[in-house]
Homo-oligomer: A and B are copies of this chain.
Amino acid sequence: MRTSQYLLSTLKETPAHAEVISHQLMLRAGLVRNVASGLYTWLPTGLRVLKKVENIVREEMEKAGAIETLMPMVQPADLWQESGRWEDYGPELCRLQDRHERPFVLGPTHEEVITALLRNEVSSYKQLPLNLFQIQTKFRDEIRPRFGVMRGREFLMKDAYSFHITDECLKETYQVMFDAYCRIFERLGLDFRPVVADNGSIGGEGSHEFHVLADSGEDDIVFSDTSDYAANIEKAEALAPAGERPTATQDLAEVATPNAKTIEEVAALLNVDAKQTVKTLLVLGHAEEGQQAPVIALVLRGDHQLNDIKAENLAQIASPLTFASDEQIKAAAGCEAGSIGPIGLSIDVIVDRSAAHLADFVCGANKDGYHYTGANWDRDFTNYTVADIRNVVEGDPSPCGQGNIVIKRGIEVGHIFQLGEKYASAMNLGVLTEAGKNQTLTMGCYGIGVSRIVAAAIEQNHDKYGIKWPKAIAPFQAAIVPMNMAKSARVKETAEKLYQDLKAAGIDVLFDDRKERPGVMFADHELIGTPTLLVIGERNLDEQMIEVKDRISGEKSLIAIDNVLDLFA
């Protein structure tokens, strides 16, 4: 490709509205352009990267035995009504009507369409297992699209769905997909980690997320400093503190804490460590028919954070997690939010394992402006249950039993999931078994955010000059940068010949034939992140040499023109 016949579209200035580095660099390097909120056009340079990612994903899915299909983006509403998600999905599901006023959705995912397909195509156990995938455009109507293609509304995704008679068969395919995902992210050249993820009602290790590690990641990934353990923070278990709970030594005393409403304020006022306090949060349980939802108290150590997912997964708590209103708090505790405590409450109380291990702690007195000191479980309050409802923190013992927890930031780029019978059961997908009886199928689903990977790769691989692409997904493998070509016939001839030779060898090369100053050209190529720059200048041509500049290491070296192809061997 010649720059003069290409749409390079690099920008010198960082667009003000781009918050994260990948969005800034994708705009500056001419990878994407915004069309409307969360909608992007992929410019030629960006599309080259996207296609390379897509091809690696496709190759590894095929190697793993998955078969490619293509389902429509516009899906009939009746399938979503059948699965129950027409009601459950919420406003991220974009609903529309066709000219005959029939309802449709823009597919954010394809469980319904593929389950309906299989229902007609398979009838016997002999046709299974099957693993079908597609690489296709999805739409999710995010309430606040941001970070460029990282959280766009229209995006490219690889989604796969597998179908099985038995859970054992599902687990086998799940492992095959796990391994394929590892190979995909290795081939992409990314520092990634598969982590155990929450699996809702199914439980077990039936779900893994794949994260690209980057300081700017939105998700907290929990590692052991000793073992291979890695989990999403939503999922990482906080173990109960070791040993017996200390014995009570203080008497319960009500103290005035005027104007102290947060844990920090109360701890400062009473001169105790936040670790010696508890906070009490009121949330809603399941409403019986025709009744108000009951209010339930969650008690955490003052320095810990509630883990919404763990709380939601408790049988008593309604999902999605909903906090009690000010009125509900007043009715249940007789005070405002800043003064709630377990002692004296007559509602269900669930205490986090760490909070339950405290003795002589501080808690709210259920009376505005007052707290208790010297509170002790079982002596001052008896009717409670203990559960793991907090986020782990660095230094916690790892739930794997080895070492302590370290937390890093990650960007979720893949998710594999043992769905079980959820869709097959709702949509009546079964086959005849060998024994001749009808058997509902069990399913797995396996997603990769293809367009998101492009942004994640940049978050992980950049410097102040621009993008530092892993070689496998760089838009161009090399750029030819001639110095003052207009003034030197020899430079021009050498550059032209090298361009033809590299093209003939199948190298993705960008020939910068613009009439620009060398500084402008170098800045563009460093911004775009081309791994190898081939600099042709008069100075080195007497020795038939050209300069090679490596984008990752920054190193420069001279190489004989005749040996340039060896760089790409």
A interface with B by C-beta (< 8 Å): 1, 5-7, 9, 33, 35-36, 39-44, 47, 50, 65, 67-76, 91-92, 94, 96-99, 104, 106, 113, 116-117, 120-121, 127, 130, 132, 137, 139, 141, 143, 153-154
Docked-complex contact A35 and B69, CB < 8 angstroms = no
Docked-complex contact B44 and A67, CB < 8 angstroms = yes
From A44, A65, A74, A143, residue with most partner B Cβ within 10 Å: A74
- Chain B residue at minimum C-beta to C-beta distance from A41: B71
Docked-complex contact B69 and A43, CB < 8 angstroms = yes
Knowing A35-B75, A73-B73, A113-B35, the reply to whether A7 touches B41 (Cβ < 8 A) is no
User: For residue A74, which residues in chain B have a CB less than 8 angstroms away from its CB?
Assistant: 36, 39, 106, 139, 153-154
Knowing A67-B44, A69-B42, A71-B41, the reply to whether A33 touches B120 (Cβ < 8 A) is yes
User: For residue A117, which residues in chain B have a CB less than 8 angstroms away from its CB?
Assistant: 33, 35, 41
User: For residue A116, which residues in chain B have a CB less than 8 angstroms away from its CB?
Assistant: 35
Docked-complex contact B47 and A141, CB < 8 angstroms = no
- Chain B residue at minimum C-beta to C-beta distance from A130: B7
Knowing A98-B94, A121-B9, the reply to whether A44 touches B68 (Cβ < 8 A) is yes
A73 CB contact (under 8 Å) in B9, B36, B43, B137:
B137
Docked-complex contact B5 and A65, CB < 8 angstroms = yes
Copies in the assembly, this chain: 2
User: For residue A154, which residues in chain B have a CB less than 8 angstroms away from its CB?
Assistant: 72-74
Docked-complex contact A143 and B99, CB < 8 angstroms = yes
Docked-complex contact B47 and A104, CB < 8 angstroms = no
User: For residue A92, which residues in chain B have a CB less than 8 angstroms away from its CB?
Assistant: 99
CB-based closest 3 A-B pairs: A96-B96, A36-B76, A42-B70
Docked-complex contact A6 and B67, CB < 8 angstroms = yes
Give, as a whole number of angstroms, the nearest-CB distance from A173 to chain B: 12
Docked-complex contact B72 and A47, CB < 8 angstroms = no
- Chain B residue at minimum C-beta to C-beta distance from A112: B35
Docked-complex contact A41 and B98, CB < 8 angstroms = no
Docked-complex contact A47 and B75, CB < 8 angstroms = no
Give, as a whole number of angstroms, the nearest-CB distance from A52 to chain B: 13
- A–B pairs, 16, beta carbons within 8 Å: A1-B67, A7-B121, A7-B127, A7-B132, A33-B121, A35-B72, A35-B116, A36-B74, A36-B76, A39-B74, A41-B69, A41-B70, A41-B72, A43-B121, A47-B69, A50-B70
Give, as a whole number of angstroms, the nearest-CB distance from A511 to chain B: 14
Give, as a whole number of angstroms, the nearest-CB distance from A376 to chain B: 50
- Chain B residue at minimum C-beta to C-beta distance from A92: B99
From A7, A117, A130, residue with most partner B Cβ within 10 Å: A7
Q: For the complex, give the distance between the alpha carbons of A67 and B4 in Å.
A: 12
User: For residue A141, which residues in chain B have a CB less than 8 angstroms away from its CB?
Assistant: 98-99
User: For residue A132, which residues in chain B have a CB less than 8 angstroms away from its CB?
Assistant: 7, 44
A76 CB contact (under 8 Å) in B39, B41, B44:
B39
User: For residue A41, which residues in chain B have a CB less than 8 angstroms away from its CB?
Assistant: 69-72, 113, 117
User: For residue A6, which residues in chain B have a CB less than 8 angstroms away from its CB?
Assistant: 67
Q: For the complex, give the distance between the alpha carbons of A1 and B67 in Å.
A: 9
Give, as a whole number of angstroms, the nearest-CB distance from A564 to chain B: 24
User: For residue A67, which residues in chain B have a CB less than 8 angstroms away from its CB?
Assistant: 1, 5-7, 44
Give, as a whole number of angstroms, the nearest-CB distance from A139 to chain B: 6
Give, as a whole number of angstroms, the nearest-CB distance from A563 to chain B: 29
User: For residue A42, which residues in chain B have a CB less than 8 angstroms away from its CB?
Assistant: 69-71
From A42, A73, A98, A143, residue with most partner B Cβ within 10 Å: A98
